[in-house]
Amino acid sequence: MLLDAWRLAVGTLTAVRVRPPANVDRRTAGTAMVIAPLAALPLGAAVSVVALLGHWLHLSTLVTALLAVGAVVLGNRAFHLDGLSDTVDGLAASFDRERSLAVMKTGTSGPAGVAAVVLAMGLQAAGLAALFGRNHWWQAAILAGLVVCASRAALAMCCVRGVPPARPDGLGHTYTETVPVPVAALVWVIVAVVLAAAGGWAGLAWWRGAVAAVPALVVVGVVLRRAVQRFGGVTGDVFGATVELSLVALLVALS
């Protein structure tokens, strides 16, 4: 089961080619979302490598940060950015639940969605540039990669019990309400501890990493509450939106 969960998480959240899982049930899906930060390690490694290359090639920190953001986008096929765009478009389209869900399902990006993506990517690049410009540059490069992985902890919150699906089909049947609340809480505690340790190692105050997890968790909670109020629950697009906004919150807090 754990191997199937690992393959599901890596195959869904990254562009890395893995063998399809032999069985995908609710237990496997829930486990896949719990280990999502580990499955995102290839994306984190890509960010760290780009940061190191940028330093050695004497690129500006902003250019390096934009390239790092691009590496993440390529590494997950813009999966989460698409979710952010569709979610914001759905929220902006109408107060009618069915109308909002229909807009989200079209797959096209409206003005609100485009603005959200541009703002999110801009804040991510600015946050990464702030990290890359620190004196402990190679430690900061590794910290940036860990932050990308940590942002995927948002997915455990999306699947926590008590957060219903917006539709009976799609992700609703397999993924939602598969993660117990204590397990989701443990995931975020681990994220806070790892970021605190990595942040201290990278020259930040030891508490900065732990504190950064708080606004990220709050942002995810706000998005989920809004999705339940407006859509009746979560969709795959909401999953992606929480990941992108969690990454924004973590990077802004650490910058």
Domain residue ranges in the chain: 39-254
Pick 174 or 60 by higher pLDDT. Answer: 60
The answer to whether the beta carbons of residues 144 and 127 sit under 8 Å apart is: no
Per-residue pLDDT of 2-20, as tens digits, reads 888 888 888 889 988 888 8
Please report, to the nearest 10 degrees, the dihedral formed by the alpha carbons of residues 157, 119, 78, 151 taken in order: -30
Per-residue pLDDT of 103-162, as tens digits, reads 878 777 888 999 999 999 999 999 999 999 888 888 999 999 999 999 999 999 999 999
For residue 34, pLDDT beyond 90: yes
Per-residue pLDDT of 166-217, as tens digits, reads 887 766 668 999 999 999 999 999 999 999 999 999 888 888 989 999 999 9
The answer to whether the beta carbons of residues 210 and 196 sit under 8 Å apart is: yes
In this prediction, residue 171 carries a pLDDT of 63
In this prediction, residue 105 carries a pLDDT of 81
User: What mean pLDDT is reported for the chain?
Assistant: 91
Q: What is the pTM of this model?
A: 0.94
Per-residue pLDDT of 73-101, as tens digits, reads 999 988 899 999 999 988 888 777 778 78
Ramachandran sector of residue 248 (left: φ over 0; alpha: ψ -120 to 50; beta: rest): alpha
Per-residue pLDDT of 234-247, as tens digits, reads 998 999 999 999 99
Rounded-to-integer distance, Cα 211 and Cα 239, Å? 23
In this prediction, residue 90 carries a pLDDT of 86
In this prediction, residue 170 carries a pLDDT of 64
In this prediction, residue 172 carries a pLDDT of 63
In this prediction, residue 20 carries a pLDDT of 83
In this prediction, residue 1 carries a pLDDT of 67
The mean pLDDT value for 41-67 works out to 95
In this prediction, residue 25 carries a pLDDT of 85
Q: How confident is the model at residue 22 (pLDDT cuts 50, 70, 90)?
A: confident
Indicate the angle between helix axes 111-132 and 41-56, nearest 10 degrees.
60
